[in-house]
Amino acid sequence: MSLHFKCSPLDLDEEQVLDYLHLLKSQRKTPSDSFFKHTVYGLRYAYRISGMKEMRVVLPSIERPHQLPVVLSRSEIKQLLKTPKLLKHRLVLAILYGCGLRCFELRNLQLKDLDFDRKMLHIRQGKGRKDRYVPLSQMQIRGLKKYIAADNPTIWCFNGYDRKGNPSQLSAMGVQWIVREARKHSGIQKEITTHSLRHSYATHLLEMGLDIISVKELLGHADIQTTLTYLHVAQLGRQKPFSPLDRLYKE
């Protein structure tokens, strides 16, 4: 911004700042959402420490691409879950999918959050600092009991290791590696991330008959509009969509 205007950003008025941001937005190589946010937040901080509290730059609206989530089929989920050789890795995948967890929610899981008697998982301080409960399947419970007896974790449900080789909380890169390796060795061609398993969880629940409000609560969404996205990918209705080619040659 300083190079563009050849002066300090503190010498610019609000209209010049917004012109610059809109100029970036209109360029072919559009910067990321975070670029705009950091630019605006940086300006606000600069104004504040310079005693220019009256300056308040508003973040310009950014059009987000309307992309539908990648969803795995039920057979692909089965294939993915059985691919890892280590039980711990299979359980990481099974919890991400079977409980619809975000990556950081899985990393923050502690042994005290597992309620095998009630078959529930307590997710503490999820997105928006909200707690919620989600059901555990009997299959997950059997696997977790076997894993806990063998690996003997003390605090975190899934341990990782720090640079010195000491047990620590499983890192985000560790979770991503488990998903990436499982996808690579499973033969599945879809681009799969940790969030793809959460997307598949929501979509499959809808297809299995669970109502949208219950799915919203299980996912921990603050806004129902976020959950409604899955209605575009779930195969719902009295008759599932089909290709005309499926019936063209049956007549």
230 is catalytic: yes
Give the active site residue among 198, 199, 204, 216: 198
Tell me the two tokens of residue 25.
């937005």
Out of 74, 118, 127, 146, which one is annotated catalytic?
A: 127
Helix/strand/coil percent split, the chain, to 5: 50, 5, 40
Give the span between the Cα atoms of 221 and 215, in whole angstroms: 9
Would you state the structure tokens that stand for residue 168, as one six-digit string?
């620590």
Q: Which is catalytic among the residues 102, 122, 124, 132?
A: 102
Catalytic residue among 97, 147, 201, 230: 230
Asked whether the beta carbons of 197 and 96 are under 8 A apart, the reply is: yes
Catalytic one among 90, 107, 183, 221?
A: 221
User: What is the C-alpha separation between 43 and 87, in angstroms, rounded?
Assistant: 49
Give the side-chain half-sphere CA count within 13 A for 13.
1
**Residue 102: active-site member:** yes
Catalytic (active-site) positions = 102, 127, 195, 198, 221, 230
